[in-house]
């Protein structure tokens, strides 16, 4: 993976240490993509799923360590039932269809979110894909499905409170690391770069804890049209950011 990162950095003309390791992507514009072509919205979601698989595999080739895709939020249950049913059908099929490529590319799949309320076909597919790829040691592909950032913090708080009540944890032990260890993303580094497509300018309840210091990149490209060139443009823009994490740099930045 490190060799791929170095090769990508050289090709893009950026220092290897300025390459993002964890990408988070809010995939917007599927419905608009379909409507502009006179197609039903579910066709846009189907094309978006194919784009998600393609981009995930490109990230493997680029040496990215983790990719988190925002697939379906808790708020998305407010959509028309017909669209929800179509989405759940797409998810269950997608999660099975990608298994071969995940195994061939040594990708480990993890689910972020709640399973309560999801159809059995989707929960079975999530569990099966996670178990099948659980021993893979390459890139991590995280799918935020039935996910909400506030709900994640609530669930983590409940877990911590339960452990305190059971005497497994002391109140004094609760710090930022403790909270992080009880989030859905336990074991994953925080995202370096958050990409949002379709020119939307909000975080939409996504990884609220984890993106505290993430760099944002917004493109007007609709998600089904997102490609490797657009991805690399975002990575180059990230490499040129001056990430201070609250500090002040007294020396000139080495970024291009």
pTM: 0.93
> Is residue 196 marked as binding?
yes
Mean pLDDT of 170-194: 97
* In the chain, alpha helices (H): 2-12, 30-36, 41-62, 81-97, 99-104, 120-133, 149-165, 176-180, 228-239
- Asked whether residue 172 carries a pLDDT value surpassing 50, the answer given is yes
In a domain, 20, yes or no: yes
- The first and second tokens of residue 102, run together, are 């995940």
Q: Catalytic residues, which ones? A: 28, 76
pLDDT of 252: 47
In a domain, 91, yes or no: yes
Residues 6+ apart with CB under 8 A from 26: 70, 194, 195, 196, 197, 200, 203, 204, 206
> Is residue 32 marked as binding?
yes
Q: What is the CATH number of the domain that holds 98?
A: 3.40.1180.10
Residues 6+ apart with CB under 8 A from 225: 29, 33, 51
> Is residue 127 marked as binding?
no
Number of domains in the chain: 1
In a domain, 69, yes or no: yes
Mean pLDDT taken over the chain: 95
Parent domain of 125: 2-148+190-238
- Of residues 151 and 241, more confidence is placed in 151
């Amino acid at each position: 993976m490190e060799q791929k990162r170095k090769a990508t950095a050289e090709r893009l003309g950026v220092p290897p240490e300025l390459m993002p390791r964890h990408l988070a992507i809010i995939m917007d514009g599927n419905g608009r993509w379909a409507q502009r072509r006179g197609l039903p919205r579910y066709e846009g979601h189907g094309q978006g799923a194919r784009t998600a698989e393609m981009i995930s595999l490109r990230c493997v080739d680029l040496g990215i360590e983790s990719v988190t895709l925002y697939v379906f939020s808790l708020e998305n249950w407010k959509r028309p039932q017909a669209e929800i049913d179509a989405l759940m059908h797409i998810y269950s099929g997608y999660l099975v269809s990608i298994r071969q490529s995940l195994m061939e590319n040594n990708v480990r799949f993890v689910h972020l979110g709640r399973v309560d309320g999801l159809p059995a076909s989707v929960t079975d597919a999530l569990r099966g894909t996670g178990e099948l790829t659980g021993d893979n040691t390459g890139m991590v592909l995280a799918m935020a499905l039935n996910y909400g950032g506030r709900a994640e913090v609530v669930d983590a708080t409940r877990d911590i409170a339960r452990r305190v009540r059971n005497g497994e944890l002391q109140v004094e032990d609760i710090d930022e690391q403790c909270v992080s260890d009880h989030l859905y993303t336990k074991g994953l580094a925080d995202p370096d770069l958050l990409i949002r497509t379709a020119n939307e300018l909000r975080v939409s309840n996504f990884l609220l804890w984890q993106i505290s210091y993430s760099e944002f990149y917004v493109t007007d490209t609709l998600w089904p049209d997102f490609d490797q060139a657009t991805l690399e443009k975002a990575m180059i823009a990230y490499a040129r950011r001056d990430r201070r994490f609250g500090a002040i740099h007294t020396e000139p930045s080495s970024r291009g």
